[in-house]
Structures are given as structure tokens and as C-alpha cells.
Structure 1
Amino acid sequence: MHNESPLPIGRVEPSSTNEKQPSMARLYNREGEAQSAGIEQQRQRAKRTALWVGAIAVLVYVGFILSGVIGR
């Protein structure tokens, strides 16, 4: 094996202060108006995903417990 990097290594130029990257709010909001409905939808989806992941984790945990009890 060799130690050469497949990616070219170069100097990173600092961005000028005049060029600001748009924030996520600016990308999704039109003319600065807040889209609270979109944010609420995203929060609901995140909560639903967290509940599903939690439920699956509990099922796996209970499965391990039951497999230990039944395996005796």
C-alpha cells in the first residue's frame, strides 16, 4: 500500500466577508416571511421518527429479555 492521498491537497481560501452563505431560513422562506407550518411539519416528522426508533429499541430489548428467560 502507499501513503499517497487520492485527493489533491491545496490551500483553502477564506471567503470574503461580503459573500455570506444564505441561511436555511432564507432558502426556505420567501422574502423573510416565517413558514411556521413547514417547521411544525418537520418537528412532527422528527417526533414520529423518534417514537418509531424508540419503539423498535424497546421491542429489541424485550426480545433479548424474553430470549434469556425462554432459553433457560
Structure 2
Amino acid sequence: MHNESPITPARAEPRVAASASPGLRPGTAPLYAEQRQRAKRTALWVGAIAVLVYVGFILSGVIGR
């Protein structure tokens, strides 16, 4: 038996977006103001729904006793 592995390790090359600006991290694209606003609104809605579900579970436990 040999101690050598038949598989050679590969080097990971960093991915760079074609349209990335020099000031941005590699692989990221700028989010425009409208997209950012929609993402923020969606996150707030998802958070609000999560809080309502959490409160609902607590109230169902209290009411169920």
C-alpha cells in the first residue's frame, strides 16, 4: 500500500463578479435603493409574522391550561 493519495488537492480561486466596482468586495453586486427598501420591508414583515407566531404559541399554552 502507498501513502500517496491518487486525488490531488485543488486550489480554490476567488470568484470576482464581472461588474464589480473596485471598492466592493469580490463576488458582491451593489443593491440599488429600491431593492434595498423592498428587502427591508420584506424582512420586517417576516419578523412581524415570526413574533405573532411566537406570541400565539405562548397564548395557546396559557389559555390551554
Q: Do they fold alike, i.e. is TM over 0.5? A: yes
CA distance in 1, matches of 2:60, 2:39: 31
CA distance in 2, matches of 1:54, 1:10: 50
The Cα RMSD (Å) is: 2.3
Q: How many equivalent pairs are there?
A: 50
Residues 1:10 and 1:61: Cα distance change in structure 2 (over 3 Å):
farther
Question: Mind listing any 5+ residue stretches in structure 1 that lack a counterpart?
Answer: 1-8, 29-34
- Secondary structure of the 1:24 match is coil
TM-score normalised to the size of structure 2?
0.61
Greater relative CO, 1 or 2 (CA 8 Å, sep 6+)? 2
Greater than 4 Å deviation, 4+ residue runs: none
2:51 is aligned with 1:67: no
